[in-house]
Amino acid sequence: MTHCVRCGGEYKHMMKTQTASYNGGSLSVSDFPVKQCECDTVISLSDGVLIDGYKLLLERHGIIGKVVVSLGKLKERYPRPMDLVLPYGQTR
Ligand SMILES: [Zn+2]
């Protein structure tokens, strides 16, 4: 069991909406799992790369405005998050 570095309390698993802004708009990803303590210290779990990748994709396509999507949908659409980060046409 991990404890909060700030207050020593126990983290709880929660679902939050993560928001990231990019050139032209903002991206909100709902149902994003985090660990949060009573003192509001938040630790993101491993799916941050998916948010970064999708943000890059939106920016690359010049999409403006507010984009809202659930993490589940993103995972379904992009099972390999690294594909989002790589430039087009590049294969691994
Ligand atoms: Zn705490």
Q: How far is the CA of 5 from the centre of ligand 1 (A)?
A: 7
Q: Determine, yes or no, domain membership for 52.
A: yes
How large is the average pLDDT for residues 26-49?
89
Q: What are the residues whose beta carbons fall under 8 Å from the beta carbon of 40, sequence distance 6 or more?
A: none
| The pLDDT of residue 90 | 55
Q: Quick check: 66 and 26 in contact, CB under 8 A?
A: yes
State the residue range of the domain holding 60.
12-79
Q: How far is the CA of 44 from the centre of ligand 1 (A)?
A: 14
Assign 3-class secondary structure to the chain.
Answer: CCECCCCCCECEEEEEEEEEEECCEEEEEEEEEEEECCCCCEEECCCHHHHHHHHHHHHHCCCCEEEEEEHHHHHHHCCCCHHHHCCCCCCC
How large is the average pLDDT for residues 44-65?
88
Q: Which pLDDT band, with edges at 50, 70 and 90, does 2 fall under?
A: confident
Q: How far is the CA of 69 from the centre of ligand 1 (A)?
A: 29
Question: Domain total for the chain?
Answer: 1
Judge whether residue 38 has pLDDT over 60. yes
Q: Determine, yes or no, domain membership for 87.
A: no
Q: What gap in Å lies between CA 78 and CA 61, rounded to an integer? A: 16
> What pTM, to 2 d.p., does this model score?
0.77
Q: How far is the CA of 18 from the centre of ligand 1 (A)?
A: 20
